[in-house]
Amino acid sequence: MSEVRAMARYVRMSPRKVRLVADLVRGQKVQDALNLLQFTPKYAAREIASVILSAAANAEENHGLTRDDLTVKTVMIDDGSTLRRGYAAARGRYKPTLHRSSHITVVLSDQA
C-alpha cells in the first residue's frame, strides 16, 4: 500500500467554506470525486479538484500507479495566513475585514 500526497498552500478562501466541499469527496475513488467536483457549484470545488489531479499525476509519474486504482484517503484543510484589512466607519471607528486563506492537503491511497 502506497500513499501519495499533494498540497496547495495559501489558497485565498476561508477554510470553513473549503471544508464543506472537502467532506463530499473523502473516501471516494479519484474519478468519482472529480466527477462530483465538476458539478459542484462551490468555487472551492475547483481548488480541491486541482489538488486531486496533482496528487494523481504524482502517483502516476513517481510511483507508477494507475489513476483507476486510487482512492481519496484524506483531505485536510488547514488555516493559512490571514490578511487584516479594514476601512473607516462612522463616528471615527475602524471596521476590520479578515481575508482568510487555506492550505489544502490531499492524500491518495491505492488500497480501498
Q: Quick one: cell of 78?
A: 488547514
* Cα 6 to Cα 111: distance, rounded to the nearest angstrom: 17
Average confidence score pLDDT of the chain: 95
Residues 6+ apart with CB under 8 A from 16: none
Average pLDDT for residues 75-94, to the nearest whole number?
97
Average pLDDT for residues 62-87, to the nearest whole number?
95
pLDDT in tens, 42-60: 999 999 999 999 999 999 9
Domain over 3-109 is classified CATH 3.40.50.720:
no
* Cα 26 to Cα 19: distance, rounded to the nearest angstrom: 11
* Cα 44 to Cα 67: distance, rounded to the nearest angstrom: 22
pLDDT above 90 for 39: yes
pLDDT in tens, 17-31: 999 999 999 999 999
